[in-house]
Structure 1
Amino acid sequence: MQSVQVSEYMNRHPVVFHENMAIEEAVELLLKTEQRGGPVVDDKKKVIGFLSEQDCLATMLRDTYHKEQTATVGDCMFRGDVLTVKLDAAVMDLAQNMSAHKPKIYPVTDYQHKLVGIVSRTDILRALDMHLRDSYDQKTKKTKSR
């Protein structure tokens, strides 16, 4: 399991956002794809932030209260150090990291720091489940062959 890489389970075609995108457009994309959030990238596909459903909810609630609709992704995205993972990272390592940290979605980058996909807790859970099922099936086959 240690040799299983994030690249085997990541979403290679995630919803991504740009700073100047209207928040309404971003929300529409999130709703259509049922993705919980996504990376904000610059023109070179480098991750510069992250936009979550929570960010969108807070912004839209504020805008509704003030009867305004002028926010952009750049106005409400997280701009700090976004936790990313390399595409060749071990699934087990990321699973341990996910159990200790809050992010539900990690942007996946290559070694030039360009976005190549995302990986979610659900993706990692799927990888662990498949591994456990394979191990159980192999154990059952060995027991039956004796």
Structure 2
Amino acid sequence: MLQIRDHMSRSTHSLTPQLGLAEALDRLHDSGLSGLPVLDPQQRLIGFLSEQDCIPSLLTGSYHCDTRTRVEDLMSRTPLSVSPDDSILDLARQMTEARPKVYPVLEGNRVVGIISRRQVMQALNTQMKGCLPT
């Protein structure tokens, strides 16, 4: 079985709720991902911030020079997540119905990694190549 644990990034990139929008966007850019988990001081997942979440506030904030927006103002407070033991196939099916491009990977309530749509596609492509006659 194709498991998420074999294809996820063991990323340490995350955000805090009090972080300002500009710094959060810098961290998103540095991570190379389109979204990052938001963690509380005990490193528990409390939200998720995607580029898509930021665009409306970035547009108005840049026009009005408003720098007060924080991650907690924009983050999704009910993020979808997966387990390292979950199937890549199940996640791929979920991705056809849900919009997130990046999912935090949780063991218990602790973030242990991130898996992106690109990683899921690469895993499925590798699997498919194994089916082709040589």
Give yes or no for TM over 0.5. yes
Instruction: Quote the Cα distance in structure 2 between the aligned partners of 1:62 and 1:73.
Output: 15
With structure 1 as the length reference, what TM-score do the two structures score?
0.85
Bigger radius of gyration = 1
| Distance across 2 between alignment mates of 1:78 and 1:100 | 17
Distance 2:49 2:97 in 1: 21
**CA–CA separation in structure 2 for the residues paired with 1:14 and 1:135:** 34
Task: Please say if 1:118 is aligned against 2:133.
Answer: no
1-structure distance, mates of 2:88, 2:66:
43
Counterpart residue number, 1:16: 14
State the partner residue of 2:125.
129
Q: Distance in 2 between matches of 1:9 and 1:39?
A: 18
Q: 1:106-138 deviations in whole A, cap 9, x for unaligned?
A: 11000x2211111111010000001111222xx
1:81-120 pair list within 5 angstroms: 81-110=78-107, 112-120=108-116
Structure 1 unaligned regions, length at least 5: 141-146
Q: Does 1:5 align with 2:3?
A: yes
Corresponding letter in the other structure for 1:109: L
- Seen in structure 2, the aligned counterparts of structure 1 residues 33 and 135 have a Cα distance that, compared at 3 Å, is same
TM-score (norm. length: structure 2): 0.92
Deviations along 1:34-79, whole A, 9 cap, x unmatched?
2101111112222111101122222221212222212111121112
- Extract structure 1 runs of 4+ deviating beyond 2 A: none
Kindly report the root-mean-square deviation, in angstroms, between the aligned alpha carbons of the 2 structures: 1.3
Q: Which ranges of structure 2 fall in alignment gaps of 5 or more residues? A: none
Question: How many residue pairs align between the two structures?
Answer: 134
What displacement does 1:102 show? 1.3
